[in-house]
Amino acid sequence: MRVAAAVALTIAAGYALVKGCGSSFIWNVFLIATVAVFILMTWVIAVGFPLIGWLGEKAAGIYTPSDKGFRVRPEFSIAEAHAKAGRYTEAIVQFRRDIEQFPDEPMPHIRIADIQLEHFHSPAMAFVELQAALSKARSADAFALLSHRLADLTLAQPQTAIGHLREIERRYPGTKHAKAAAERIAKLAARKTA
């Protein structure tokens, strides 16, 4: 739209220049200079400002990169403060609020599982929380860590523990996580037969 307006104004200025030229040399120079300044200003406004703005954004990107590549990670400091103060029920309540605010984040589930195990001695509740965290794991590291923790909770049932470890092998074959899972499966199988 701006370029079209600039073209139209340039044509109008050219027409005015042709029609306005008279016999006086000074008048012709003044008219040509005025029209040239008008055309230049029209093109600077139409094309120059957006171009300058775009170049400025690119130059600013060197010193202040965009936030597109960054992910804000929640800290869960209120819940952690409750846990540190020994208010474990309040900590769990706050972690539940954090889960509502950050539904894709596995860490609140992990921390609830820790509290359930260490302070309420409830492996069943910890198991449920770790399964919820496992469903939200986005990396091989997180998935492997959570699968090993689930296996730890189910050591009394070796087949269940082995099942959690086999899931690592299935999802991430050929990785260091799969190798560690295979080693642990071998140890569990040897212990089971002994």
Do 143 and 93 fall into the same domain? yes
The answer to the question of residue 72 being in a domain is no
Q: Which residues neighbour 34 within 8 Å (Cβ) at sequence distance 6 or greater?
A: none
Q: Is the pLDDT of residue 67 over 80?
A: no
Do 163 and 111 fall into the same domain? yes
The answer to the question of residue 71 being in a domain is no
Do 82 and 175 fall into the same domain? yes
Do 126 and 54 fall into the same domain? no
How many domains are there within the chain? 2
Do 188 and 126 fall into the same domain? yes
Do 143 and 94 fall into the same domain? yes
The answer to the question of residue 15 being in a domain is yes
Q: Which residue has the higher pLDDT, 117 or 190?
A: 117
Best CA proximity match to 102, nearest among 81, 131, 125, 133:
133
- Full residue range of the structural domain in which residue 9 is found: 2-63
Do 59 and 84 fall into the same domain? no
- DSSP secondary structure code for residue 74 in this structure: P
Q: Is the pLDDT of residue 26 over 80?
A: no
The answer to the question of residue 69 being in a domain is no
CATH number for the domain harbouring residue 186? 1.25.40.10
* Length in residues, the chain: 194
* pTM of the entire predicted model: 0.63
- Give pLDDT, residue 19: 63
Q: What is the pLDDT of residues 127-184, one digit of tens each?
A: 999 999 999 999 999 999 999 999 999 988 989 999 999 999 999 999 999 999 999 9
Do 88 and 41 fall into the same domain? no
**Which residue shows structure tokens 């509290």?**
115
Cβ proximity of 137 and 149 under 8 Å: no
The answer to the question of residue 92 being in a domain is yes
- Give pLDDT, residue 163: 94
Report how far apart, in Å, the C-alpha atoms of 166 and of each of 99, 103, 189 are. 28, 27, 12
Do 120 and 160 fall into the same domain? yes
Question: What contacts 24+ positions apart, CB below 8 Å, involve 180-188?
Answer: 180/144, 180/148, 181/144, 181/147, 181/148, 184/148, 184/151, 188/151, 188/155, 188/158, 188/161, 188/162
